Amino acid sequence: MTRVFSGVKPTGHLTLGNYLGAMRRWAAVDQHRSDALFCVVDLHALTVDHDPARVRRLSRQAASLLLAAGLDPELCTVFVQSHVDEHARLSYVLECVATDGEMRRMIQYKEKAARERERGGSVRLSLLTYPVLMAADILAYGTDEVPVGDDQTQHVELARDLAVRFNQRYGHTFVVPRATGPAVAARVMNLQDPTSKMGKSEDTGPGIVYLLDEPDVVRKKVMRAVTDSGRDVVYDREERAGLANLLEILAACTGGDPAELAGGYDSYGALKKDTAEAVVETLRPVRERHKELCADPGYVEGVLEDGAGKARAMARPTVDAAYRGIGLLPPA
Ligand code: TYM
């Protein structure tokens, strides 16, 4: 059976981008047709300036949002990265296969490091090695497919390269994974700045729809989305980025095609109104289920405990094989 692995990082409240680009498909498709693991990657949240209590809070919230989005622990494994030591164990071994140059070429590293420096902060070494830990997440489980949004494909490519390199040098150990993405909304853009991604870690609140935003807040954010001074509604990602983003969001929420949907509108106002309602309806069941789960924290904890146990058992044989392959002496 196809093995699927993916994760979310608890660095901020989860967004419509996370949902449309990744989580929705995990729940609707991946968990039903594959042997899937979904992980709250809390170790990754320590790579930038962080508040420990906030990371813990966001990790719990992310886990409960994964379940609220429809992940079913009867069908898939849901767990927290730091509960399974194999991730960190394998990450070190892969650091001995990856190169410094490879890390410095990563787009997300360049962007995030620049942002940290602009803020006057220093860049954590773990930010540089972030993609190696991500490769460890993926390779530890013999993953075939990694369902992600557009922004993660370069990292998955690196995981592929490291798997191939390790296998060539030290004997066949890892499955070589590949990224899969959604047909639309692979990169949901910020509503206030449609040239940049709707990212949970950025501080531009009005441009970001959070999964737990109240319906009226969602409506306000979508109605105030930046578009352009044109009048006709056309789908053109290059020239009309704001409009294209709204059409993609609407398409993702309603199952339509962005270019075809454009033909049905002759005003921006009507498009925004329909998009706002489509987003509200798409997020409604997630918010409602999340509220129920908040009333039952013991259930979420139980799911995470079971998930960590299952994940550990799945990862250990591969990580042990990598240790042996690279030359480490097995314990007696
Ligand atoms: P993260 O937490 O930033 O995002 C989680 C998932 O949501 C997708 N996504 C988006 N898709 C479309 N439009 C957007 N605006 C948008 N924003 C986020 C991401 O592509 C991702 O699929 N490095 C990863 C977490 C990670 C991981 C892994 C993923 C760590 N280890 C192993 C897969 C496999 C990250 O920061 O995702």
Answer yes or no: do 47 and 28 share one domain.
yes
| Cα-based torsion angle of the residue sequence 280, 38, 61, 224 in order, rounded to the nearest 10 degrees | -30
The CATH number that applies at residue 212 is 1.10.240.10
Measured CA to CA, the distance from residue 32 to residue 28 in angstroms comes to 7
Return the biggest CA–CA distance within the chain: 74
The domain that contains 24 carries what CATH number?
A: 3.40.50.620
By C-alpha distance, which of 250, 254, 255 is closest to 273? 250
Instruction: State both tokens at 198.
Output: 């709707």
Residue 15: name the closest of 190, 146, 181 by CA: 190
| Cα–Cα distance for residue pair 79/67, rounded to 1 Å | 11
* Location of structure tokens 């047709």: 33
**Is residue 146 located within the same domain as residue 280?**
no
Q: Let me know whether 85 and 117 are in one domain.
A: yes
- Residue 150 alpha carbon, nearest atom of ligand 1: 20
| Contact predicate 324/92, CB 8 Å | no
Its pTM stands at 0.97
Query: Does residue 32 sit in the same domain as residue 174?
Result: yes
163, 310: one domain: yes
How big, in percent rounded to 5, are the helix, strand and coil portions of the chain? 60, 10, 35
Atom of ligand 1 nearest to the CA of 44: 30
Domain span including residue 95: 3-181+297-326
Residues 19 and 139 in one domain: yes
Buried/exposed code over 176-209 (b: 16+ C-beta within 10 A; e: otherwise): ebebbbbebbbbbbbbbebeebbbbebeeeebbb
Verify that 240 and 310 share a domain, yes or no: no
325 is in an annotated binding site: no
Query: Taking CB atoms and a 6 Å cutoff, what residues make up the pocket around ligand 1?
Result: 5-9, 17-18, 21-22, 41, 44, 134, 137-138, 146, 148-149, 151-152, 155, 186-188, 197-199
Q: How far is the CA of 330 from the centre of ligand 1 (A)?
A: 35
Decide: helix, strand or coil at residue 313.
helix
Per DSSP, 328 falls in state P
Handedness of CA 88, 89, 90, 91 (dihedral sign): positive
Per-residue pLDDT of the chain (332 residues; tens, 9 = 90+): 999 999 999 999 999 999 999 999 999 999 999 999 999 999 999 999 999 999 999 999 999 999 999 999 999 999 999 999 999 999 999 999 999 999 999 999 999 999 989 988 899 999 999 999 999 999 999 999 999 999 999 999 999 999 999 999 999 999 999 999 998 888 999 999 999 999 987 666 899 999 999 999 999 999 999 998 888 999 999 999 999 999 999 999 999 999 999 999 999 999 999 999 999 999 999 999 999 999 998 999 999 999 999 999 999 999 999 999 999 999 98
